[in-house]
Chains A and B, each alone.
Chain A
Amino acid sequence: MIGAGIKRGTAELAVLSVLQKGPLHGYELARRIEQQTNGALRFTLAALYPMLYRMEQQRWIRGTWETSANGRKRRCYRLTPAGKKKLSPLEREWAELFRALQRLTKAAHA
């Protein structure tokens, strides 16, 4: 299980990565992240929406109301050009951190 501090740091990366594949509404976004991380990252409503609103203010994502096939109105989030630009350095930064930690762990076990 991944600790809370790391989860907070990776949350934005998770949202941006999932939205890169296409627009999603909040519930579906949380479900996809949980599925794709085998339950390691799980967002409750209370954790998800303040973060989505903050990311929207930073113009990394944009939310628009859309009506689904069954007539339900939902707010769908999509990645903005600024969000796409933010994603690659964020991915690099985290990949670098994980590689560094792996090296550290290997060195500790050697």
Chain B
Amino acid sequence: MPDWQELVRQRLAGLELAAAEKEEVHAELAAHLEETYEASVKEGVNEQAAVQRALLQVSNWQDLRQKIQTARTRENIMNDRVRQLWLPGFVTFLLSTSLLALFEVFGAKPPVLVKVGQLPAVLLFIPWLLSLPIIGALGAYLSHRAGGSSRAVFSSIVFPVLPFLFSILLILPVSLIFGRFIAHSPAPLSLLMALLGWVLAPGGALLAGGLATQFVLSRRLDSRRIAGS
């Protein structure tokens, strides 16, 4: 019977893992080969044929080395949640805030003030709002490509408005309860209008692009699944 561990070590030479991890892989694969060999011997196969049968478990050692390396290292860097939610979310957030700053500095002055009756005015950055469907679509694409669930895709799309939403939700009760004790406290009605201008309107724009993209990508995936089956 061959020294299976030595055999695996030689055939997987060049596997780039930490020494201890590499030894673990060698030991595990060697144990599998040894059990395959022993099962064949128990069936009455002669020793040489049993060795050959065990070795048939791997047709291309170089390919196996590559696959093991990919499985044990690349996916260490980013786990699913990062790829499906945090990365697309931060990309959309960064893009939307950068675009808002750019529009403010270079073009979209003044923002449109929408005033209805006695209600406080709502500030709308129209060019920014028009660019948001593309950013929402990008968020949906990145999350979908990484295998994100519907919830992860949705969160990635609306990620840029979440900080505004949380800020308003935090300030609103404080303003309602302690407003009269705080100088220059924002009026609750102004906060509700801010919710419209900074959360609902951009959120709607992001969703328009994001959900449309998600719909198209899901349909493509479904038709590919059916074609593949």
Interface, chain A (partner B; CB < 8 A): 5-6, 25-27, 30, 44-46, 48-51, 53-54, 57-59, 65, 72-75, 97, 101
Contact = CB atoms under 8 A, between A and B. Distances in A.
Contacts of B68: 49-50, 53
Contact of A53 (B27, B72, B225, B228): B72
Nearest to B55: A45
B149 to A, nearest CB: 8
Nearest to A44: B57
Contacts of A58: 75, 79-80
25 contacts: A5-B228, A6-B229, A27-B32, A27-B35, A27-B36, A44-B56, A44-B57, A44-B58, A45-B33, A45-B58, A46-B58, A46-B59, A46-B60, A46-B63, A46-B67, A49-B25, A50-B67, A50-B70, A51-B71, A54-B71, A54-B75, A73-B27, A73-B31, A74-B28, A97-B229
Interface string B49-93: 000000011111001100110111001100110000000000000
Interface residues of B, number: 29
